[in-house]
């Protein structure tokens, strides 16, 4: 581990020199690439330097015990050794986590797709609740949610809603929301007061840059049509809505949220690129099905990951067996307790595998 950390620190120093090189400064692409690489390893380097400093202080303190000390000084040195030993162990644990492989998509914006599944109107209402929950979570993190496509129902829910969350690190947290979400509650339309179970599915896709996936214009069919709202009413009479079809994969994306056809096409293209990127990723990862199955953040999207029980104000995440009695807080976007627990669990699994290897 120490050899790897020293290599990371050496690279950090090399990047410092490269970033002061006039040739790099004049090359925007290289400057951006090296700056990002340095930023990505900065936390590891700072922790490693703190570890080296703590180890040095610990060695000095231990050597002091070899000298003739009065009882009071000896007690102080022993206390210092105890504190430094504890700090060293904490830094070792932190460094093990920092050396774990990073998901290359973690820093990206995300495209979230929520669809009402089993449960009819109640599932659509639940899809609307999930959309509000994620919008609030995004805002708490300083991210910006932006609707791309929505199919609302007359009761106020959504058959389907697709939206983007713009913000650094959005994917690193939102990726744990992939899967089927289940709600248990008495629907507002139910006169008998019986508890119904409904589901909605959530897909979280990292935004794909143009350089990451090659989509040819000739492979895309563009259709335009007039936007419409719930119940068939016209949102506007111009042909501003856009439907993109990527013919090689059969991927179809529509967008009618904006009044401008150009803006709708731009939004739809972002979703199309993300879906195709995700499709290729899923195909590549299929070869590692066993490792994917054990990773809490990358499970099958049809898998039921969480239950929201309204009568008991309880939320249970089935992947890690975590139950929290704070349903109202979670629906207000306070998801950190669940997501942090999922991150810790995934890191523990990765460390265990690294140990086995």
pLDDT value of residue 297: 45
Taking the whole predicted model, whether its pTM rises above 0.85 is answered as no
Q: Is 39 helix (H, G, I), strand (E, B) or coil?
A: helix
Strands 220-225 vs 304-309: parallel, antiparallel or unpaired: unpaired
pLDDT value of residue 312: 93
CATH number assigned to the domain covering 110-209+299-350: 3.30.70.1660
- Crossing angle (nearest 10°) for helices 336-356 and 71-98: 90
**How many Cα atoms occupy the beta-carbon half-sphere of 263 within 13 Å?**
10
The length of the chain, given as a count of residues: 357
pLDDT value of residue 11: 92
* 298-350: pLDDT as tens digits: 444 557 899 999 999 999 999 999 999 999 999 999 999 999 999 989 888 88
CA dihedral for 280, 286, 288, 290, sign (positive or negative): positive
For the chain, the domains span 2-98, 110-209+299-350, 217-283
Residue 46 has pLDDT above 80, yes or no: yes
Residue 69 has pLDDT above 60, yes or no: yes
Output Rg (C-alpha) for the chain, integer angstroms. Answer: 26
pLDDT value of residue 112: 93
CB 63 within 8 A of CB 84: no
Q: Is 307 helix (H, G, I), strand (E, B) or coil?
A: strand
Residue 253 has pLDDT above 60, yes or no: yes
What CA–CA distance (Å, rounded) separates 62 from 80?
A: 9
Higher pLDDT, 301 or 273: 273
In what side-by-side order are the strands of the sheet with 314-317? 144-152, 158-166, 110-116, 196-206, 179-185, 304-309, 314-317, 322-324
Candidate from 49-58, 103-112, 225-234 with smallest mean pLDDT: 225-234
Q: Mean pLDDT score of the chain, rounded to an integer?
A: 84
Residue 355 has pLDDT above 70, yes or no: no
Report in angstroms the alpha-carbon separations of 315 from 12, 53, 104, 114, 344.
43, 44, 30, 19, 19
Higher pLDDT, 86 or 66: 86
Biggest CA–CA distance in the chain, Å, is 92
Higher pLDDT, 320 or 222: 320
Candidate from 73-82, 128-137, 161-170, 242-251 with smallest mean pLDDT: 242-251
pLDDT value of residue 163: 92
Residue 256 has pLDDT above 90, yes or no: no
List helix spans (H) across 65-163: 71-98, 120-140
In this structure, what token pair is assigned to residue 343? Answer: 């991150």
pLDDT value of residue 318: 94
What CA–CA distance (Å, rounded) separates 120 from 97?
A: 43
With residue 305 as reference, give the H or E element that holds it. Answer: strand 304-309
Taking each continuous run of H as one helix and of E as one strand, the counts in the chain are 10, 11
pLDDT-above-70 percentage for the chain: 87
What CA–CA distance (Å, rounded) separates 291 from 36?
A: 28
Average pLDDT over residues 248-255: 85
What CA–CA distance (Å, rounded) separates 225 from 234?
A: 11
* 286-296: pLDDT as tens digits: 544 443 344 44
pLDDT value of residue 296: 46
pLDDT value of residue 319: 92
CATH number assigned to the domain covering 217-283: 3.30.160.20
DSSP-derived secondary structure letter, 103: P
pLDDT value of residue 317: 95
In the beta sheet, which residues pair with residue 203?
A: 113
pLDDT value of residue 226: 72
Distant-in-sequence, close-in-space partners of 129: CB < 8 Å, separation ≥ 6: 183, 331
3-state secondary structure 141-193: CCCEEEEEEEEECCCCCEEEEEEEEECCCHHHHHHHHCEEEEEEECCCCCCCC
Distant-in-sequence, close-in-space partners of 97: CB < 8 Å, separation ≥ 6: 347, 351
CA dihedral for 95, 100, 104, 105, sign (positive or negative): negative
* 115-149: pLDDT as tens digits: 998 878 889 999 999 999 999 999 999 999 988 88
CB 263 within 8 A of CB 148: no
pLDDT band at 67 (very low <50, low <70, confident <90, very high): confident
* 172-211: pLDDT as tens digits: 999 999 999 999 998 876 666 788 889 999 999 888 765 5
**Highest mean pLDDT pick, 73-87, 94-108, 220-234, 268-282:** 73-87
């Amino acid at each position: 581990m120490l050899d790897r950390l020293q290599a990371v620190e050496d690279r950090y120093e090399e990047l410092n020199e490269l970033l002061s090189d006039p040739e790099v400064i004049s090359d925007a692409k290289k400057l951006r690439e090296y700056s990002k690489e340095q930023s990505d390893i900065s936390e590891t380097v700072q922790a490693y330097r703190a570890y080296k400093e703590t180890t040095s202080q610990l060695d000095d303190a231990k050597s002091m015990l070899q000298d003739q000390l009065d009882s009071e000084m000896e007690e102080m040195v022993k206390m210092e050794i105890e504190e430094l030993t504890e700090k060293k162990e904490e830094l070792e644990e932190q460094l093990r986590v920092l050396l774990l492989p990073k998901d290359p998509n973690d820093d990206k914006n995300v495209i979230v797709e929520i669809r009402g599944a089993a449960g009819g109107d109640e599932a659509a209402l639940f899809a609307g609740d999930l959309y509000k929950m994620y919008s609030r979570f995004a805002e708490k993190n300083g991210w910006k949610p932006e609707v791309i496509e929505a199919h609302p129902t007359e009761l106020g829910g959504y058959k389907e809603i697709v939206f983007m969350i713009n913000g650094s690190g959005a994917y690193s947290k939102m990726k744990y929301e992939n899967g089927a979400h289940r709600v248990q509650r008495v629907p507002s339309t139910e006169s008998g007061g019986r508890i119904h179970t409904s589901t909605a599915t959530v897909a979280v896709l990292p935004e794909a840059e143009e350089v990451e996936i090659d989509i040819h214009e000739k492979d895309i069919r563009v259709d335009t049509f007039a936007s419409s709202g719930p119940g068939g009413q016209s949102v506007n009479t111009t042909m501003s809505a856009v439907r993109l079809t990527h013919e090689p994969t059969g991927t179809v994306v529509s967008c009618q949220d904006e009044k401008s056809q150009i803006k709708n096409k731009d939004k739809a293209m972002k979703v199309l690129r993300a879906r195709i990127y995700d499709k290729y990723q899923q195909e590549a990862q299929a070869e590692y099905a066993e490792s994917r199955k054990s990773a809490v953040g990358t499970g099958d999207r049809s898998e039921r990951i969480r239950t929201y029980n309204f009568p008991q104000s309880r939320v249970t995440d089935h992947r890690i067996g975590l139950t929290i009695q704070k349903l109202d807080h979670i629906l207000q976007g306070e998801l950190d307790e669940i997501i942090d627990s999922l991150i810790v669990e995934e890191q523990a699994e990765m460390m265990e595998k690294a140990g086995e290897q």
